[in-house]
Amino acid sequence: MRRTTRDAIDSYRGISRRGMLLGSMQAIFVGTLAFRMRYLQVDQADQFRLLAEENSIKVRLLPPARGLIFDRNGTLVAGNEQNYRITITREDAGDTDDVLGRLARLLPLTDAEIEDTRKEVARRSPTLPITVADRLSWTDFSSVAVNAPALPGVSTEVGLSRVYPLGPDFAHVLGYVGPVSDYDLSKLSDPDPLLQIPRFQIGKLGVEARLEKELRGKAGTRRIEVNATGRIMRELNRKEGDPGENVQITIDQKLQNYVLARLGEDSAAAMVLDVQTGDILAAVSAPSFDPNLFVRGISGPDYRALTENDHRPLADKSVQGAYPPGSTFKMVTALAAMGSGAISEDETVYCRGYTELGNRRFHCWKRGGHGHVNLVESLEQSCDVFFYEVAQRTGIENISAMARRLGIGEKFDLPMSAISEGLAPDKAWKLGRYGKSWLIGDTLNAGIGQGYVLASPLQLAVMSARISTGRAVMPRLIRAIGGTELSPFDAPALGLNENHLRAVRKGMFQVSNSRRGTAYGSRIVDDTMRMAGKTGTSQVRNITAAERARGVTSNSDLPWERRDHALFISFAPFDDPRIAVSVVVEHGGGGSTTAAPIARDIVLQALNDGFPPLTAYPKSQRNRIEAERDALPLRDPQGPSGGYSRA
């Protein structure tokens, strides 16, 4: 059948419309495809290139800035300094021995350091950067950076490292930081990933260790692109971590430095407390050491010099030392005796130079005896026979209970290392410790702070603070964390009879202010700053009957390590106590001649916030005192004058 012209036209129009529709769809598809290809190949080229080369993208942890530590007045005592370091990553380095060999030609690395790095590289994850060298000079650092193309897997980094600007002043209080050890990691059940970074530093002792979590902060991250040789091409992104929290301690930097200088070359310790708040204003152990040596990696000779020193500079004697308190313990015996009704304030005891128990004599320090003395006079003149007698009447259980009430035998919760608990012994303790019964002779020895009794300088200062206030003063070292101030501890009343406390305080006042007092030579003559105190001399050797018969050997004639310990505790001002001070000088001889003058100077320094007027000292001593304090090696972080007015 032949198609008409009209049918042909209609058929042509239909085909044209379908062709146009199909062509349009094809055009749209091709255009969309072209646009998408352009988007992927041009606009997103870099992103997809990185995805295609995912093995060249590395994620690195960014150590946070460690929190700063300040003294009570805002002086920086532990900070951070810029540190140029070099790291190597085994995965990117390839032949690490070859790379380390090239580094050794650029840096002053010893064979031992190279070997240590090799061992560290071998034992760590191949993706973990290992620190090869740190604390580099800018010259050495830039030399490595310039030669980076020839050092695959090697990175130059700028970080922060701990620094203690005041050196030895706060070494025992703050401690120091050091690289994380396997031992450190073994103590943690879920260690922070930061701790896996080789040579990452954490607190090892003191405040740095006890407040590690607060000071450490949280890690940040950065994503970097490296090429086939391990060289960093660029940083893709960075997320900074959270810095550690700043910490403020209660110690006064100027007073701390003064006390350390005043203790000088002695093996000694001193503690200063604010009796109202319990704030530790100074906690010093001498001799000290420079904690920066440990941060930077202490050398063998330097370490041996510290460990072989018989004055034990690494030990914190202020809280770790446990000493027989000697006569500084007599206030404990006195309060226990009056509290138990064993003796009254006015009752006297006759001292003929010794007392007898069975066939044994217990001697007084004064060979000829003190005659009749009451409680105040016995403290003033430190009569041993008086306290032998009242201790026997009182009993060790009452004495031990009073000692603990005043802080002896109590382990205070402070962020310091190896705090001593001391010892307030009783019958149960001796039986458990030695399997032996308590003897009356043990009670007599304990009554004068000898025998088994032990106390730290911290505990002695707390005891003095509690006697001066009648309250259970608690020491504290941390004033604020992260800008939030911590409240002082509540100090409830001890519940002691105020008349008994008044009698003991009067005896302590007489020690320093009566001509017959054992510390009269170290008195303060300014009425507004007069101190009350108590001397103590504790034996470290037995004195035989034969030696007593021919005369006890003078401390000055004995080897240093066999001399008596010298002690002194005090509080001031007497009428309105503000501070309590304890001083222990190991093998220093007599408490009155060695420890008391040091304590007097510390009291005046603390009360005056610097050098006191010379009129606070007895007139005959002023020239000597002025010369001695002018010679002290004082430190001031803000200037050469030391910030001390030399009135």
Residue 188's identity, in one-letter code, is L
* 631 DSSP 8-state letter: T
- Name the pLDDT band for 641 (thresholds 50, 70, 90): very low
Spot the catalytic one: 267, 327, 382, 592: 327
**Helix-strand-coil percent breakdown of the chain, rounded to 5?**
45, 20, 35
> Is residue 424 predicted with pLDDT exceeding 90?
yes
Strand arrangement of the beta sheet that strand 280-286 belongs to? 280-286, 268-274, 579-585, 565-572, 532-538
Query: Spelled out in words, what is the top-level CATH class assigned to the domain 253-303+313-630?
Result: alpha beta
pLDDT at position 562, please?
Answer: 81
**For residues 571 and 468, is the Cβ–Cβ distance under 8 A?**
yes
- Among candidates 88, 91, 85, 96, which has minimal Cα distance to 57? 91
Q: State mean pLDDT over 5-34.
A: 70
Q: Report the relative pairing of strands 247-249 and 478-481 from DSSP bridges.
A: antiparallel
Alpha helix segments (H runs only) across 241-310: 253-263, 292-296, 300-307
% pLDDT > 70, the chain? 87
Is residue 642 predicted with pLDDT exceeding 50? no
What does the pLDDT average to over 195-218?
Answer: 87
H/E/C letters for each residue in 164-191? CCCHHHHHHHHCCEEECCHHHHHCCCCC
Residue 7: per-residue pLDDT: 63
Q: Is the model's pLDDT at 449 over the cut of 50?
A: yes
Lowest mean pLDDT, pick from 88-92, 293-297, 436-440: 88-92
More confident residue, 125 or 141: 141
The matching CATH number, chosen from 3.30.2270.10, 3.40.640.10, 3.90.1310.10, 3.40.50.2300, for 57-249 is: 3.90.1310.10
Helices (H) and strands (E) in the chain, counts: 24, 21
Instruction: State yes or no: pLDDT of 168 exceeds 70.
Output: yes
- pLDDT computed for residue 644 by the predictor: 44
Ranges of CATH 3.90.1310.10 domains, the chain? 57-249
Give ranges for CATH 3.40.710.10 in the chain. 253-303+313-630
Average pLDDT value for the chain? 87
Copy the structure tokens of residue 124. 């760590």
C-alpha dihedral (460, 466, 467, 470), degrees to nearest 10: -170
| Contact criterion met (CB below 8 Å) for 131 and 86 | yes
Lowest mean pLDDT among 189-203, 244-258, 457-471: 189-203
Task: Provide mean pLDDT across the span 68-84.
Answer: 93
Lowest mean per-residue pLDDT among 251-260, 339-348, 407-416, 547-556: 547-556
pLDDT at 40 over 80: no
Question: Cα(458)–Cα(460) distance, rounded to whole angstroms?
Answer: 5
Q: Can 24 be counted among the known catalytic residues?
A: no
Query: How many angstroms separate the CA atoms of 509 and 466, rounded?
Result: 15
State residue 6's pLDDT score.
Answer: 65
Confidence of residue 622 (pLDDT cuts 50, 70, 90): very high
Closest Cα partner for 337 from 389, 410, 409? 389
Token pair for residue 120?
A: 């560290």
pLDDT at 584 over 50: yes
Beta-bridge partners for 179? 201
* pLDDT of 640 over the 50 cut: no
Report pLDDT for 498: 97
